[in-house]
Structure 1
């Protein structure tokens, strides 16, 4: 087959799906055989294929895990915040999905199919692929796909024909976009539009992404209403309590404050609950439960010196930082962006400017303002751990990074060269300790 330049292949996918599928089959065959491919796969697809080979996914075998029982499926539906935005997703996607022979699929953060609607003939074809209610469509189970790969990289992904790692999925095209909880950045799941490869339309991915953002906006509105209700209850409570105190919701968002500088959010460590607690940014505090939140009474203005920090990026989609100081140990879950920024600082103990970090994270040094805003949020819970000009971990803080066993599993959502190269570092005299796993 005559080589097709990458830009021409991208246009071909939009204009001649059948021919594009044949070209992509040649690309896939060459990559799997270890031969040069021209054009090569798109970066997001090539990275996914590499993960599949590391995980031992068989490209020629259709592997299907056991479906959820009806009881388990219903339990997951009840527990999923996505149930509150189903109407938004339906209004935005179902009409076009049915008209263009697609289906809309909503999965949870583990890749389990919770809801599935759309064209009846396409639903039957999806059954033949195992793309049915309760099925597990995680990337590590069924290979590169619009659901599982979007969950891993945490951004919208379209997978067309032979871009799917497993051959049996080649007659299919899918476009998925992640939905995150605006309260804490937690990944809630993916909304996906899928169908036979000849139904592909270039605008589908943009539409799915837009509707996913509308769903997040609806969740944000619901949170604002709930926070306002907590605020109404908190104001008279704080008047009676007196002293330094704050009322927050279950995710730490502030409803009311007394005797403290106003903050949007209090970082609540892992395994948070009632009792005596050491809280980042507040110090020793007494925590009492409230309906829908917590009352936090701050006991002291003392700031304990931090001596050690462990950045755990070993899991595929969950990352944390554990801080050790004179008053004890606390752990904070990290958003994807915060995990990425802290990792980049950990592997560059000499420090990086906001512009340098923006170049790594976004490929655009002009987005330094965005980086500064994120680092400002990080410093709210890490306190004096981070210095700036340039940004770096302070002298005397022993930093350790726990990495995954497979290099490809290291922050797979990140495009930064230091992450994709599995960068390690720790210059002598930097003030950082071991960066090994």
Structure 2
């Protein structure tokens, strides 16, 4: 039975005290066996094994794989300006200066699609990177070049260190790279990744913690900037809300609430993708009048009970999955629910005043401590059913008529 090569949440490719040359030899043996379809002498780390599988599925050639032609200069400029990363370059370069300055390492910032937007490092290391196609505008997504710290960090959503033969393409085996994803705190989506790459012999177990910390600090910077913009929107909206004749919200372009008047406190609402100044239906709020504000929107519900007249029927489908039928004044739609989601909905239907996560855990599992599972399942249900489900406690929204068949 092959032994596993490490397994941890934030794991360096090489553990402290491990000999890089010896470990590289093991990795080469594992890689050669994997590419030949033979029995592995050891298992690659799970993040690497899963990445290899994705690379195979994408049709990446391990012998000749490499990035295609870089995008044009105009496209590169456009990606730089719209990536949301330009304002973070100072934080990223300053935070990682110690591992790039006067070293054979190169610092790379890529967008959410894996395209290299910026590079920093000595002219010598940049020339070596050029030979691999590791240039500005090139795609280093997994489906372009297989396993590497940029593409694999983006695909896995976690910081990754890739050493020597852990790379899917053979020509990359002389390198080690460490990358971490950068998320947008306003949306939770990926903005891109930051990466430090260099000769395999320069690998250090602490690099992954440093790169991950710098990425998280960049995200914290974005969050602080977002709070400042919400404060500005709140200042603009305050006199408008004070004069409003009915309940109102001031929200930014992502739906984060800056201020509210005569409304149930909430942190964020789900705005339609095509929000415009008009009367439109908004999840959780029903029909609303939407008007522009500097940096956001003024949202004024037209209904005191937005879901009045909405009927939800929970029935059994032919394949064991539940059928949830929703009828509103706008029409009818259905959702196929798993047995566990059906049990949650039935429990909420029987509890008009709502249930806590612990109460739902007790009802479903006979154990009040499995609240993490309950919250995760309720989060999925709320994404599927939108404003029909409320929180604090979990319950059907006011005005919803629930029937269990």
TM-score (normalised: structure 1): 0.73
Q: CA deviation at 1:36?
A: 2.1
Structure 2: distance between partners of 1:70 and 1:366: 55
Give 2:319's aligned residue.
none
Q: How many angstroms does 1:286 deviate by?
A: 1.2
Give how far 1:14 is off: 5.7
Query: Is 2:60 the partner of 1:57?
Result: yes
Summarize deviations over 1:81-134 as a string: whole Å, max 9, x none.
111111111111023222442111000001111111023321111111111111
CA distance in 2, matches of 1:13, 1:33: 31
Describe the shift of the 1:279–1:5 C-alpha distance in structure 2 as closer, same or farther (beyond 3 A): closer
Name the structure 1 match of 2:270. Answer: 267
Q: Distance in 2 between matches of 1:308 and 1:128?
A: 62
> Is 1:206 aligned with 2:209?
yes
Q: Return structure 1 stretches of 4+ with deviation > 6 angstroms.
A: 352-355, 386-392
* Equivalent residues in 2 for 1:207-356, closer than 5 Å: 207-300=210-303, 301-303=305-307, 305=310, 326-328=328-330, 346=338, 348-349=340-341, 351=343
Matches within 5 A, 1:372-411: 372=375, 375=378, 379=382, 382-385=386-389
Residue number in structure 2 paired with 1:6: 5
Aligned-CA RMSD value: 3.7
Unaligned ranges ≥5, structure 2: 315-324, 345-355, 362-367
Report the secondary structure of 1:15's partner residue. coil
Distance 1:126 1:369, change over 3 A: same
Residues 120/135 of structure 1: CA separation in 2 closer, same or farther (3 Å cut): same
Partner in structure 2 of residue 427 of structure 1: none
Which residue matches 1:417? Answer: none
Alignment of 1:68-217 (within 5 A): 68-217=71-220
- Where 1:57 maps in the other structure, the secondary structure is coil
> CA deviation digits over 1:157-210, x for unaligned, max 9?
111111111111111111111111111112100001111100100011110000
CA contact (8 A) 2:253 2:296 kept: yes
Q: Which runs of 5+ in 1 are unaligned?
A: 310-322, 331-341, 359-364, 398-429, 432-437
**Distance in 1 between residues matched to 2:264 and 2:392, nearest whole Å:** 22
Counterpart CA distance in 2 for 1:224 and 1:390 is 28
Report the Cα offset of residue 297 of structure 1: 1.1
- The worse-fitting range, judged by mean Cα deviation, of 380-389 and 241-250 is 380-389
Q: Cα distance, 1:257 vs. partner?
A: 1.0
Greater mean deviation of Cα atoms: 62-71 or 42-51:
62-71
Q: Is the 8 A contact 2:6 2:45 kept in 1?
A: no
Residues 121, 14 of structure 1: alpha-carbon distance in 2 compared, 3 angstrom cutoff: farther
**Residue 237 and residue 391 in structure 1: after superposition, are their counterparts in 2 closer, same or farther (change >3 A)?**
closer
Task: From the superposition, tell whether residues 5 and 43 of structure 1 become closer, same or farther in structure 2 (CA, over 3 Å).
Answer: closer
CA contact (8 A) 1:12 1:20 kept: no
The structure with the largest alpha-carbon Rg is 2
Task: Tell whether 2:19 aligns with 1:20.
Answer: no
The alpha-carbon deviation at position 302 of structure 1 amounts to 2.8
What is the TM-score of this pair, normalised by structure 2?
0.79
Once residues 44 and 120 of structure 1 are traced to their aligned partners in structure 2, the CA distance between those partners, rounded to angstroms, is 32
Q: 1:71 to 1:274 in 2, by over 3 A?
A: same
1:43 aligns with 2:46: yes
| Deviation of 1:66 (Å) | 1.8
